[in-house]
Structure 1
Amino acid sequence: MINIKQIETFYWTLKLGTLQRAATRLFITQSAATKRLQELEKQACLPLFEPGSHKVQLSPKGAELLEASEGLIASLARLDALRGAAHQVQRAVRMGLTELVTITWFTDFVARTKAELPDISLHPDVDLSARLQRKLLDGDLDLVVIPQDYVTAAMASIPLQSITFTWLAPPRLFPEGTTLSLKQLALWPIIVQGPDSGITQRCEQLFAQEGIEFNHVYGSNSLFALLALIRAGVGISCLPRGLFVDEIERGEFQEVTLEVPPAAVNYHLAFLKHGRTALIDTLADLARQSTQGDARR
């Protein structure tokens, strides 16, 4: 008789693209996943995949089963969300975050989640935006908080907050009241994070749009390390203003005024389109509450 575990393995193998990704999501070995698919195909009495397709092309029977599976998986997700806390097994949620999110509103979000969803265990993964994007698409994460620029067609997303960025330089580098063009700014070393960073991508796009070459200085993937490099006089960098507003007001850094100020960065909570559940919507609502209470935007 066909069982839920077999259906889940079949469904996630098709949705994530490989048996290994499905096994990782279901917390089983690849051999166990293979066994489940073999048993499912035996119970179906007809091949679920076209011969020689390496389990990529579904047979008519497989396509029919996938359509039925989608409704079943969605129903199971709704039931799981409604299950009583007294007998619910703790569920792990793999959540990808940038450093900026981690050091601003994530602490409040964890507290809200523990209060509202005591059966949820958050497993954070702090990384650069492009890497978080790849991990989500590979099925290694359930949801990520990333700039909107990194949301692809395979994802659905929910807007969370808009972050204001500013250019910071060592104190008194420019006369007070100076306004620079982008070309003038490019005369100075520009400190960026690694190539997978949203900040780096934004800087490269900004100068490329104007056809201006600039001197990259790959400093660090840490925002606070970038701040230390600015303080040391290595160069200028574009950073979240709200995170360092106290240092700016104390005169530890000079805020550089450009003719065209940097655009705000919109952060979204993103997940695979087929992975939306009532739990995702609840977590998104809690995240919005946390971002609204964060003054460092």
Structure 2
Amino acid sequence: MAELRSLEIFYWTASLGSFRKAADRMNTSQPAVSQRIAALEDEFGARLFERRARSVALTAKGRDLLGYAERFLLLRAEMMQAVAGPGTMRGVLRLGVSETIVHTWLMRFIARMNEAYPGVSVDIAVDISPNMRDALLDRDLDLAFLVGPITMPGLVNLPLCSVSLAWIAAPHLDLGPGEVDLASLLRFPLITYPKNTNPYVCLREMLAQSNLPPPRLHSNASLSTIVRMAREGIGIGVIPPEVVRRDLEEGALRVIAPAPALPDIGFTATYASAPGDGLAAAAARLASEVAASPEWRQ
């Protein structure tokens, strides 16, 4: 009888099309994956994969086995959810996080994970949402907190939170008191998220409809750098006030009150639906609870 671990390795090898990627996903070595697959082929007396230079493809018998392997793994996940407690979960959660979340409630989430799932390690990669979406589809991440939802087959989205964007500048910038019109804002460079992100696109579209001269837009993948540039008076940051709460309280930055309103950014916990995704699903639900708490906004 094939071991469940071997069937799981077989499933991920088939899904990812690579011994190397399956090894990374299963936190093991590539030779160990090859040995497990070879043992399954010996047990069933059939080739399960066609080996290629950089990938593998299922044979007809491999496709037959894949359906059974998926059913076994789904049944195991159902059993664990029904019977086992959170403390029994083991493994590594590969988590992608938007830097906005890092500056707001990520530490609260990590603390809750440590309490609820002490046997789970979290590997964190901070990146922009388009890159994290691709990493989810390539199965290089298990879960991502990103600008969503991502409406693609096979991805599950749980709502997390919305953060507002605001025009934020150093007090010494000559903008005058009270409400500032858009033309006055555009005398200074605008500093915001990278070009391939939703906040940047929304900002560009809004400015394009203003019939004003094209603005100077500085895009940056590092939110910390954007904040530093705004603090130094290089330009006006278009970022969430939540990430600079201390700077606002201390007077190092201020929120400008212009006529044009900026759209909110919505975040989701997104993961790929697959057998054995219980850890990602559980972490996504926990993140939804943490993000719904008003404490991190105070």
Shared fold, TM over 0.5? yes
Matches of 2:53 and 2:153 in 1, distance apart? 25
Aligned counterpart, 1:130: 130
Contact 1:173 1:254 in 2 (8 A): no
Aligned counterpart, 2:17: 17
1:142 aligns with 2:161: no
Q: Which amino acid aligns with 1:15?
A: S
Aligned counterpart, 1:261: 261
Matches of 1:10 and 1:29 in 2, distance apart? 14
**Deviation, structure 1 residue 267:** 0.7
Matches of 2:209 and 2:4 in 1, distance apart? 52
Q: Which runs of 5+ in 2 are unaligned?
A: none
Aligned counterpart, 2:161: 161
**Deviation, structure 1 residue 2:** 2.5
- Report the 3-state secondary structure (helix = DSSP H, G, I; strand = E; otherwise coil) of the residue aligned with 2:280: helix
Task: Go from structure 1 to structure 2 and tell me whether the alpha carbon gap of 1:100 and 1:219 turns closer, same or farther (over 3 Å shift).
Answer: closer
Q: Deviations over 1:14-51 (max 9, x none)?
A: 22232221110111222222232232223222333468
Q: Which runs of 5+ in 1 are unaligned?
A: none
Matches of 1:177 and 1:106 in 2, distance apart? 34
Contact 1:78 1:277 in 2 (8 A): no
Task: Go from structure 1 to structure 2 and tell me whether the alpha carbon gap of 1:180 and 1:277 turns closer, same or farther (over 3 Å shift).
Answer: same
Q: Deviations over 1:148-203 (max 9, x none)?
A: 0656444211111111111112325323333434x764453122345566644554
Matches of 2:110 and 2:221 in 1, distance apart? 27
1:66 aligns with 2:58: no
Contact 2:149 2:268 in 1 (8 A): no
Matches of 1:19 and 1:99 in 2, distance apart? 32
Aligned counterpart, 1:177: 178
Matches of 2:95 and 2:101 in 1, distance apart? 11
Contact 2:191 2:237 in 1 (8 A): yes
Contact 1:242 1:296 in 2 (8 A): yes
Q: Deviations over 1:201-248 (max 9, x none)?
A: 55445546779743232456133x322211222111211122334544
Matches within 5 A, 1:20-169: 20-49=20-49, 57-81=57-81, 82-83=83-84, 88=88, 90-148=90-148, 152-169=152-169
Matches of 1:261 and 1:196 in 2, distance apart? 21
Contact 2:179 2:259 in 1 (8 A): no
**Deviation, structure 1 residue 136:** 2.6
Matches of 1:205 and 1:74 in 2, distance apart? 44
Contact 1:109 1:287 in 2 (8 A): yes
- Report the 3-state secondary structure (helix = DSSP H, G, I; strand = E; otherwise coil) of the residue aligned with 2:77: helix
Aligned counterpart, 1:231: 231
Contact 1:156 1:272 in 2 (8 A): yes
What percent of counterpart residues are identical?
A: 24
Q: Which amino acid aligns with 2:119?
A: D
**Deviation, structure 1 residue 128:** 2.9
**Deviation, structure 1 residue 138:** 2.8
**Deviation, structure 1 residue 143:** 0.8
Judge which range, 10-19 or 144-153, deviates more. Answer: 144-153
- Report the 3-state secondary structure (helix = DSSP H, G, I; strand = E; otherwise coil) of the residue aligned with 1:274: coil
Matches of 1:23 and 1:152 in 2, distance apart? 25
Aligned counterpart, 1:290: 290
**Deviation, structure 1 residue 290:** 1.5
Task: Go from structure 1 to structure 2 and tell me whether the alpha carbon gap of 1:34 and 1:203 turns closer, same or farther (over 3 Å shift).
Answer: farther
Contact 1:193 1:200 in 2 (8 A): yes
**Deviation, structure 1 residue 285:** 2.8
Structure 1 length-normalised TM = 0.82
Judge which range, 44-53 or 15-24, deviates more. Answer: 44-53
Aligned counterpart, 1:3: 3
Structure 2 length-normalised TM = 0.81
